[in-house]
Structure formats: structure tokens, C-alpha cells
Amino acid sequence: MRALLVTSIGVTCAAALTFPLAVPGSAAPVPAPVPAAAAQAPAAPAAEPLGSTQSLKLQPLAAEKGTRSPGAGSTRSPSFEQGLPRRDAHRFSLVGVIWDDPDAELHGTVQVRTRATGTGTWSGWQDIETHNTDHGADAGSAERASGKVRGSTAPLWVGDSDGVEVRVRSGDPEDRTGQAAPLPEGLRLELVDPGDDPQQPPDTDVPVTPDTEAPATPDTDAPATTATPASTGAQPGPPPESAALTVGAVESWAVNADLAPYGSAEIAPLSKAETEEQAVVAAGAEAYVGPRPGIVTRKGWGADESLRERTFAYTSTVKAAFVHHSATGNDYTCAEAPSVLRSIYRYHVKSSGWRDFGYNFAIDKCGKIYEGRAGGVTKAVLGAHTLGFNSNTMGIAVLGTFTSKNPPAAAVEAVAKLTAWKLGLFGRNPKGKVTLVSGGSGKYAKGAKANLHVISGHRDGFATECPGERLYKKLGTVRTTAARLQGR
């Protein structure tokens, strides 16, 4: 069947090298290009590090002495408080809570305590961000209508743990009777183990300073703006034979094959002159492109390609970039960032029911840039990051929580470098503004036109705290720096 697919869409390994940068495509999933070598490859074990997810049903909590429950008896009403008492668990590093209805909101608090593996030491109570409906696929999209999507909190990185306790309490807003809104049905605690790193490089943490699914049809009637980079010196051709070759891994490589050889952990950075020589910007667009930054590939951070949907989804162009914080906390090292990414990826797909990692790119606290959702780093890949504005945009998540903590200077600089390059491929001015049509969000009704910065924060498109007050205040610097890198 794979051979038939390759024939039907005319994809060979060589054809994959010239796959268009931004397919005039729809949000509908499209088949991923499969090089001929992959179609003929024998079945083999996955090369990616394996992880796991434990999904635990929450229960009504016993009433604490001296407290009153909304209901009678020795346990609190399950409509208003649920959780799990302290318990052992298989090893995990990230937690989150999910529920059945993706349209239901959890009005209240979610707190978790965890036990560090090997020490027996329990953490204090940590808050998990509950307002996560502003992330995800747009209403009416194939991803949203898949029947797999569930409501979910933001995930929280807790580090290597083997014990957990959780409590979920209802809060505002109150209903007409003056009672707190009930909790969503089907609450479950998700414990995610990212698995082992694909390789064990030496710890390269640096001091962190806080403040210094092939072709598709358009999902909007906006004309597509495309740019097709020329060869960057990567050697084209079929990937090498390997006992660990998987079709999913080859598909993810094929859409970046003109940027890096198969199996590359990173797409190498280029100078501005090299970038301008090798990138072809669409006719009629101003040729201002920032230097291509180094980008860790999905292979580099160990993405298990068997988790995601096999097809890729594209939108028409990239008009704007939305900056987010992951809200996963700041208690991680730069060496742990690949594990954080694998955990978020697994949580997005296995727990929340999304087709793939939600963001198009991620950036860690040391300023390293990572490929996010599969489909090609130069292409207009449809993400699930800014509800109502996923079409014709890209989403960048800075790993961490920046509500009251300043983002590291290296991360802010990396956002500028990434946007200077990627927006430049589509002829966008980082200091400019753009009109986007809302697909329906908590801030703009469906069909409403929003005049936004080309580099916007998530809160500009949705009523949310994301990307955190401290990171949001840095976006002016990001716009200025990105424009300078483009030579404007």
C-alpha cells in the first residue's frame, strides 16, 4: 500500500527534496511524502526512545477535619472536589489532568505533590494551569472533529518521580444558585514518562540570565505566499539502510531533506548571506530574510513518530507568529529540555487527543530552538497553539512559566532569530501588523477581523495570561531585533 501511495502522489526521495515550502493547502490532513527507500524498507523496531502514560481516574476526596463539604457525608461531593491520596506510581516526569468534554472548562484549582525517585522526598503542593482551552485546534477543523480530543489542563514538569497526590477543587464562576460550577466529568490524572534520551551528550547548561496529511487546498481564500529554499549542501538521496528505520521517521526527515541529511539531530545554522543565497522568497514579497538559526530536529529531541498522525496538515501561508510560554514550570535544566518536549508531545497526543505536538517550534531556557509539529520547518504547517488563529500563523512555545519570572535573555534572543528567519521566508515584516480572520476564540467571534502584530503574544488573540506578563513585555524587543536581523 505504501508503494501505491508513493506512486499515486508521485513522491520519490528526489521529489521529496523539492516539496513546496508552503503548500496552497487546507487544514485537511494530507498524506506525508514517503521516499521509495522507506516504502521498501523491512519492518523494524522503533528507533525513538519509548515513553509511557499512566492514566488514573480521580475519586471523591475524603473530607478533612474541620471542613464543610457541599454535600453530606464524610466525602466531599464529586461534583466539586476530586483527587487521589498519596500513592506509588511507575516513574514519570510530567503530570496533567484531562476530562471527557473538550468544550467544558475546569473552573477551579488543580494541585499536585510528587515524590522524587530514589529519595522518598515529597514536594510541596504545586499549581497546574487549568485554563488551557485557549490552546488546541480550531473549531470545525479535522483535528478538532476527530472525536479524540479531550479537555485538559496545561502539563507540568515535575522531574523524575515515583509517587503522586492530587486534588482538584471547583471554584469560580458561580452558577445562578450561588454555588461553584461543578467539575467536568471524566477527570483523570495523566503521569507521563518521556523515556530515555536518544543520546546522552554531556551537560552543556550555560548560565541563564533573566532579563539581559502532500498537496492540499487552501483553508482560507487568502492567496498562498510560498518560498522554496534551494539545497543547503545536505546530501540528497535515500536514507541509509538501518535496522531501526521506520517509515514515520523517514517521513519527518523527507520534508526537511533539503536542509539536513537523514538522521541529523540538528539543522545547521547559516549566515545571512548563505540564507539569502539559498532561500527563494515568493514573487512580489520583499526579500528580507534573517540568518537561519540552528534547529534541533524531531529526531534530535527523540520524537516517537509512531505517536502522531501519519499525515501532515498545511495552511496557505505564514502571516504571523504567536509567542507562548509552555506553562510547564521553570524547574528543568537545558539538558532535560528534550525530555520535557517528549513529555509534552506525548501529553498532547495520547492524553489530549491532538494529532501531534501543538506548537510549530519550541525554545528552551538556554535559547536552543527545536522543531515542533511535523511537516517541515520551512513550510506553513497547521498547528494547534492559538485557538481561532491557527490558520496562516505559526506558534512558538518558550519552555517555562513567565507570569512572575523573567524569561532568560537567551530565549528572548532565540525567538527573535527564529521569527526573523521564518517570517522572512514568507515576506513578513516583524515590526508590522497584519489582519487575521478569527476562527472563533474567547476574544474574537468567528469571522471577526483582528488587526494584530506580525509577532504577537497568545493573549493578543485570546483572553489568556499566556505567554505570561514577563515574556509578553519582551515582545517589543523581539520585533525590533528580528527586523534588524532581516536587514530592515
Q: What is the pLDDT of residues 351-373, one digit of tens each?
A: 999 999 999 999 999 999 999 99
pLDDT at 464 (0 to 100)? 83
Q: What local confidence, expressed as pLDDT, does residue 340 receive? A: 98
Q: For residue 266, which of 331, 316, 198 has the smallest C-alpha distance?
A: 198
* Band of residue 62 on the pLDDT scale cut at 50, 70, 90: confident
3-state helix, strand, coil in the chain (%, to 5): 20, 20, 60
- Report the C-alpha gap between 40 and 34 in whole angstroms: 10
Tell me the per-residue pLDDT of 77-94, one tens digit each, with 9 for 90 and over.
667 899 999 999 999 999
First to last CA, the chain: 49
What is the per-residue pLDDT across 108-138, written as a single tens digit (0 to 9) for each? 999 999 999 989 999 999 999 997 677 778 8
pLDDT in tens, 337-346: 999 999 999 9
Residue 269 near residue 405 (C-beta atoms within 8 A): no
pLDDT tens, residue by residue, 270-288: 999 999 888 866 556 678 9
Q: Per-residue pLDDT for 474 more than 50?
A: yes
Q: Kindly state the average pLDDT of the residues 422-439.
A: 94
What pLDDT does residue 15 have? 36
Decide if pLDDT at 205 tops 90: no
d(CA 366, CA 354): 28
Cis-peptide into 236, omega within 30 deg: no
Cβ-Cβ contacts under 8 Å for 42 (sequence gap 6 or more): none
Q: How far apart are CA 221 and CA 24, in angstroms?
A: 10
Q: What is the CA radius of gyration of the chain?
A: 22
Q: How confident is the model at residue 27 (pLDDT cuts 50, 70, 90)?
A: low
Q: How far apart are the C-alpha atoms of 406 and 214, rounded to whole Å?
A: 41
Residues 6+ apart with CB under 8 A from 265: 198, 199, 296, 297, 299, 300
pLDDT at position 50, please?
79
Nine-digit cell string for 323: 509567542
**CA nearest 299: which of 237, 250, 366?**
250
Q: What mean pLDDT is predicted for residues 179-183?
A: 82
* Residue-level pLDDT at 43: 39
Could you give the CA distance from residue 347 to residue 146 in angstroms, rounded to a whole number?
17
Q: What's the DSSP call for residue 73?
A: S
Q: Is 60 exceeded by the pLDDT of residue 206? A: no
Is the pLDDT score of 421 beyond 60? yes
Tell me the mean pLDDT in the region 179-194. Answer: 92
Q: What does the pLDDT read at residue 183?
A: 94
